[in-house]
């Protein structure tokens, strides 16, 4: 999969789930016990600060993980639970932490309501019950005890996705927008390829020198890596266009051609990723769909 010039994935496992690891001066990390093909070694929950702390992405609705977070923080106060986006592996535990500590839930907006979602599987991955006490907009800064977190709106993986810049360490919590172990999923209708590409460019213009992603270890050369991610998607778009010009009319046939030897569990996600590219190409007028708009079932031809 690593076809971009500067794109090398880091699949080293830095910690076991449940362990609280100090990863920088201000940041601790506990990995949730939800390893899997979409979550790698599990969701990374980050604790920012000391004494009065914020928890970024408390993770799935998992009592054991909530207990591990609270145990690691015994004697400290949780002032904020900060959420990057409303996928079930990131946001649901916010409710249990708020109930146990009185912390405010801040960060991304509630999940977008989308009519005619084409994928039942991905619907199941959305946390529709997320109810923040305060929604942060792009550029809003959360002032904690000894730290500042600036929200950076980065739609693409999810329309409400926020990254958070930690000013004191020139670091960025990149959620699922940029991860070192893999490309991210961009699955319509909530995912959007054009928005994702614009959000990559937005990060490239920023100064942060290290990213702490929602899954896997840190990204230590983010400018170079993000450029590699953008190149990878542009190459993927070119390959999809070539398949259509060569006569492949359906998403299924394109997936069979370009994802050889793919883990069968990831095929649905691959189809949605191709759909995301086709949605962008149809909007740009380069591909025509038999359904007008890009859909999973449509037949496609070069426009
Ligand atoms: Zn996600």
CA of 157 from ligand 1 middle (Å) equals: 7
C-alpha triplet 273, 279, 281: angle, nearest 5°: 105
CA of 159 from ligand 1 middle (Å) equals: 10
The structure tokens 């007008």 sit at 292
Helix (H, G, I), strand (E, B) or coil at 39: coil
Q: What's the confidence (pLDDT) of residue 114?
A: 64
CA of 75 from ligand 1 middle (Å) equals: 31
Query: For the residues of 87-141, what is the DSSP string, one character each?
Result: BTTTSTHHHHHHHHH-PEEEESPSPPP-TT-S-HHHHTTB-TT---SEEPPTT-E
Residues of the chain with pLDDT under 50: 1-4, 119-121
Tokens at 57, concatenated: 């992405």
pTM above 0.75, yes or no: yes
Which of 89, 176, 192, 280 is the catalytic position?
89
3-state helix, strand, coil in the chain (%, to 5): 30, 20, 50
Tokens at 91, concatenated: 């946001």
Distances (CA, A) of 75 to 28, 67, 71, 101: 15, 14, 9, 12
pLDDT in tens, 25-57: 999 999 999 998 889 999 999 999 999 999 999
Helix (H, G, I), strand (E, B) or coil at 2: coil
Helix (H, G, I), strand (E, B) or coil at 13: coil
CA of 246 from ligand 1 middle (Å) equals: 33
CA of 87 from ligand 1 middle (Å) equals: 5
Cα separation of 222 and 220, whole Å?
A: 6
Examine the residue annotation and report whether 89 is marked as an active-site residue of this protein: yes
Query: For the residues of 46-64, what is the DSSP string, one character each?
Result: EEESSSEEEEE---SS-HH
CA of 303 from ligand 1 middle (Å) equals: 33
pLDDT in tens, 254-302: 999 998 888 888 888 899 999 999 999 999 999 999 999 999 999 999 9
Query: Which structural domains are found in the chain, ordered by start?
Result: 20-230 (3.60.15.10), 233-302 (1.10.10.10)
Q: What's the confidence (pLDDT) of residue 119?
A: 47
Q: What's the confidence (pLDDT) of residue 1?
A: 39
């Amino acid at each position: 999969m690593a076809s971009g010039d500067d794109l090398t994935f880091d699949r080293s496992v830095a910690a076991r789930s449940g362990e609280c690891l100090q990863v920088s001066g201000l940041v601790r990390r506990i990995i949730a016990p939800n390893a899997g093909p979409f979550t790698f070694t599990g969701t990374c929950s980050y604790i920012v600060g000391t004494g009065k702390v914020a928890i970024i992405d408390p993770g799935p609705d998992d009592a054991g993980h909530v207990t591990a977070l609270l145990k690691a923080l015994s004697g400290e106060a949780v002032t904020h639970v900060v959420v990057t986006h409303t996928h079930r592996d990131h946001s649901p535990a916010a409710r249990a932490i708020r109930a146990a500590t009185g912390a405010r839930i801040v960060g991304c907006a509630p999940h977008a309501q989308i009519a005619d979602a084409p994928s039942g599987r991905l619907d199941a991955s959305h946390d529709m019950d997320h109810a923040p006490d305060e929604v942060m907009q792009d550029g809003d800064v959360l002032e904690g005890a000894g730290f500042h977190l600036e929200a950076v709106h980065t739609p693409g993986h999810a329309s409400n996705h926020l990254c958070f810049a930690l000013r004191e360490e020139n670091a960025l919590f990149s959620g699922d927008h940029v991860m070192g172990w893999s490309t991210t999923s961009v699955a319509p209708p909530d995912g959007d390829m054009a928005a994702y590409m614009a959000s990559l460019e937005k990060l490239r213009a920023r100064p942060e020198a290290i990213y702490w992603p929602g899954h896997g270890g840190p990204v230590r050369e983010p400018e170079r890596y993000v450029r590699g991610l953008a190149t990878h998607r542009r190459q993927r778009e070119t390959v999809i266009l070539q398949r259509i010009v060569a006569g492949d009319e359906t998403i299924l046939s394109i997936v069979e051609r370009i994802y050889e030897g793919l883990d069968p569990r990831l095929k649905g996600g691959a189809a949605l990723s191709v759909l995301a590219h086709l949605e962008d190409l149809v909007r740009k007028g380069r591909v025509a769909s038999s359904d007008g708009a890009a859909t999973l079932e449509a037949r496609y031809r070069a426009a």
